[in-house]
Amino acid sequence: MQRAQFGPWEIEYDREATQAAYAAMEPCEDGCNCQGCRNYLANMPFLPEEVRQFFDSLGIDPAFPFEISAPIPPAPWEGPLYYNSVYYYCFGRIVSGPENEIGTCQCRHSVNKDFEYAFGSKCYWLAEEIPKEQAIQIEITITLPYRLDEPYTE
């Protein structure tokens, strides 16, 4: 286990166990095929270096989110999509810092102007590879360009 400070949270986490769990996961064939989810995944190879470093430091594969909430498009639609709740998990525990409930994060920390995160100990949508009692939930918000070769209609 490693111990580190991420914004206002001090956490103990197991990077290697998290990496192994994500490596064992299979892409979900029956997963959501909406434009928002497909666009989110299409952006993973293009994440900024500081965002990739955040995920990598925890052992998380950003191409395997556990839940992606529908993005909020700008009105009128043109430009990037804002994803206000995307969830990931890592092995570990929160040592100190604010507790966040799902979807109501009162405290977030910015990596850059388009990416924020919050840690919480109440976990939902977990895969069997990461046991609930050993998990930290990471809720992110991110703004991403639209990369699909079709008009956004959702």
Tell me the DSSP string of 14-73. -HHHHHHHHHHPPP-TTS--SHHHHHHHHTGGG--HHHHHHHHHHT--TT--SEEPPPB-
Q: Which of 19-23, 34-38, 79-83 has the lowest mean pLDDT?
A: 79-83
pLDDT at 29 over 70: no
In terms of Cα–Cα distance, which of 28, 51, 27, 36 is closest to 85? Answer: 36
Q: Angle at the Cα of 82 (from 99 to 41), degrees rounded to 5?
A: 95
pLDDT of residue 135: 87
Model pTM? 0.86
Q: Tell me which amino acid residue 2 is.
A: Q
